[in-house]
Amino acid sequence: MFSRKLEYSSIHLCDEKLPDLKLHDALQSGLELMQIDVTEDQCRSLAAYVELLVKWNKVINLTAVRDPLEMVSRHIFDSLSVHEFIDSDSLIDVGAGAGLPGIPLAILKPHMNVTLIDSVAKKTRFIQQAAAELRLGNVTALHSRVEAVSQQANFVIARAFAAPDKLAALTRHLLPQGGRLLAMVGQMPEQNYLANIAGFSLIKTAKLTIPDETAERNIVILQRDQTSSA
C-alpha cells in the first residue's frame, strides 16, 4: 500500500484562471436545484476538477464520460447528492477511480479528512495530482486493494463498486463499531436482502435526485453492529 505522485507533466491551475463559464454556470444552477450551498471558491474548485478530468482523460482512461457538462451531472452532482448523509470528520472512499465521490465531497466539506482507495495506480496518481492542483489538504490517495488497508474512518462510501453485501464484507474492517457504510447504487435492492447483511444493520435507504440525470440512483446506509467482530 503506498501513495505516489503523478508521473505525467503537471497541469497547473493558476489562481487567476477562471473556470470555463459554461461549467461554472451549470454547477451553480444544478447545486441551487439540489439546495447545496457552496462558496464561490468551492464552485471554482469543482469546475477546475472537471477541467482536470477532461485533460487527463486524454492521457489516461479515467472515465467513459467525455463531455464536460455531462461530467457535471453524472459525476459532480451524483457525488454531492449524498452529502447530507455524511456527518463526520473522516471518510474513506473505496474504489475511488478518478476521485468520485471523494474529491467533490472533500471540496464541499473541507473539515473532513477523505482517504481515497483504488487498486489502479494511474487513478490514485491522478487523485494525488488533482488534490495538489486544487490545494485539497484534506485528501489522501492510497494505491491498494481494500483488504490491505488498515486505517479506519467513521464513514465509508463506495459508488457502484460492489453489491451491498459484498461491499460490507470487504469494508467492515475499515469501520469502527457503530461506523456507517454508504453504498451508492443504481436500482434499489430488496429491503429484506439489505436487512440481513451480516455484521450490519440497515439504517436508511433513499432515492437520489440528480439534475439532468435520468438513470435511477439510490443510497443504502448500513451501520456496523456494535457486537460484530473485525
| pLDDT value, residue 226 | 82
| pLDDT value, residue 160 | 84
The sign of the CA dihedral 135, 98, 154, 202 is positive
Q: Which residues sit opposite 117 in a β-bridge? A: 94, 142
| pLDDT value, residue 89 | 96
| 189: number of Cβ within 10 Å | 17
| pLDDT value, residue 9 | 31
| pLDDT value, residue 229 | 54
Closest CA to 168 of 142, 141, 194, 187: 194
Identity of the residue numbered 160: A
C-alpha cell, 165: 453485501
> In sequence order, what DSSP letters do the residues of 81-93 get, joined into one string?
TTGGG---SEEEE
List of the chain residues with pLDDT < 50: 1-19
Give dist(CA 66, CA 52) in Å, integer.
12
Domains in the chain: boundaries? 21-224
Does the 21-224 domain belong in CATH 3.40.50.300? no
Global confidence as pTM: 0.88
Question: Could you report the per-residue pLDDT of 87-125, keeping only the tens digit for each?
Answer: 999 999 999 999 999 999 999 999 999 999 999 999 999
